[in-house]
Amino acid sequence: MDRTTKRMSKIMDELIRFFFQIGSSGIHMDLRRMGDGYALALKSDFTPENRPKVEEMKEIFETAEKNVGIEEIYWGLAGEDYGGEDSELQLVAQMADLLKLEIMGNQVEMVVCRKKRPDA
């Protein structure tokens, strides 16, 4: 499995974990291999009391500054419990090249893209 595929798998794993932690009754994912990487479309629901966590996730995604060095540090720590609950979302934000998230009531729709890297 190449590096880009491994990273996209990690992104999906973290998103699945997050949405089930916030009360999702089901997650619909559509992953497509594109010429230069992957595109993931995700739809999920969440319980109303977890809306602040979803809004925090959106803020993390919108304000994250891409830094390859930070991505490598997070990747090295992946699977270890450092940084609290937000660290996984920070990891997703660092690994993704494009993140779009829309909240509608207790539903979330997202698009996550990861491009192949020259060294991948």
- pLDDT reported for residue 74: 59
d(CA 101, CA 103): 7
Percent of the chain scoring above 70 in pLDDT: 81
73: domain range?
3-115
pLDDT of residue 86: 64
Residue 32 has pLDDT above 90, yes or no: yes
Which pLDDT score, from 0 to 100, does residue 67 have?
67
In a domain, 120, yes or no: no
Number of domains composing the chain: 1
CATH number of the domain enclosing 56: 3.30.565
Length of the chain: 120
User: What are the tens digits of pLDDT across the range 73-112?
Assistant: 656 665 444 445 566 888 888 889 999 999 999 999 999 9
Distance of CA 65 to the CA centre of its chain: 14
In terms of Cβ atoms closer than 10 Å to its own Cβ (0-12, 13-18, 19+), residue 84 is exposed
